[in-house]
Amino acid sequence: MSDYVIEAELREETGRSASRRLRRAGKLPGIIYGGDKPDLAISMSYNTVSKLLDEELFHTSMIEIKVKGVRGKNTVLLKDSQWDPVLDTATHLDFFRVSGKDTITMDVPVVPLNADKCPGVVKGGLVDLVRHSLEITCRADSIPESIEIDCSNLDLGDTIHIDDITLPEGAEVIHDVNFTILNLSATKGSSSDSDSEDDESGEADE
């Protein structure tokens, strides 16, 4: 089952000039590939798709693209997107065909929870997110929207590594090194800094 449905049309022309004409007409060019089927060059309503691109869930969900004049379903994942560096608008989308049982690998965002309430932040520290996303391997129909990390018990100097977190059932992060995802670092003026300054001044007095 797909979480999103997009209406599309086949593109008769491809290339930069044709794509520019499409965009001027309010269309967004794209391509559907993979799944041992022919590639389909398509165009979609820019207004419709641009709103979907603002949703985080859209980037990790199965999508059904209904292509006018083409028989059969196109169940896909958004694989890549190109953007205008000046206008910050989407210029082209790549979709990869999948079925629910396929095993896929894609980036899923990391979301720290309760960061503002944890002891380290109360003391003036800062949650430093080292990995903003994780490369997750799972079934295409079971992609987690995000990887949530509870920070409520973190104190200054604490670190969360990949082996410290519990991933959703069926999800895996393939890794050889127990890499850091986030840590709680002291900032200037935090209680740990004040303690160290007090220690130094105490040593000087002696």
| Residue-range domain boundaries for the chain | 4-97, 103-195
pLDDT digits (tens, 9 = 90+) for 23-44: 999 999 999 999 888 999 999 9
Of the listed ranges 14-18, 31-35, 73-77, 198-202, the least confidently predicted one is: 198-202
pLDDT digits (tens, 9 = 90+) for 109-151: 999 999 988 999 999 999 999 999 999 999 999 999 999 999 9
For the residues 143-169, what does the mean pLDDT come to? 94
Nearest of 186, 120, 118 to residue 152 by alpha carbon: 118
pTM above 0.85, yes or no: no
Q: Is the pLDDT of residue 198 over 60?
A: no
CATH of 4-97, one of 2.40.240.10, 3.40.50.300, 3.40.640.10, 3.20.20.70: 2.40.240.10
CA distances from 96 to 30, 31, 33, 40, 75 (A): 11, 9, 5, 11, 8
**90 near 53, Cβ under 8 Å?**
yes
| Average pLDDT taken over every residue of the chain | 89
Cβ neighbours for 160, distance < 8 A, ≥ 6 positions apart: 149, 151, 154, 180, 181, 182, 183
Nearest of 35, 9, 29 to residue 97 by alpha carbon: 35
CATH of 103-195, one of 3.20.20.80, 3.30.9.10, 2.170.120.20, 1.20.58.480: 2.170.120.20
Nearest of 160, 50, 179 to residue 112 by alpha carbon: 160
Q: Is the pLDDT of residue 92 over 60?
A: yes
pLDDT above 70 as % of the chain:
90
What's the pLDDT band for 196 if we cut at 50, 70, 90? very low
Nearest of 153, 144, 61, 156 to residue 110 by alpha carbon: 144
Phi, psi of 15, rounded to the nearest 5 degrees:
110, 170
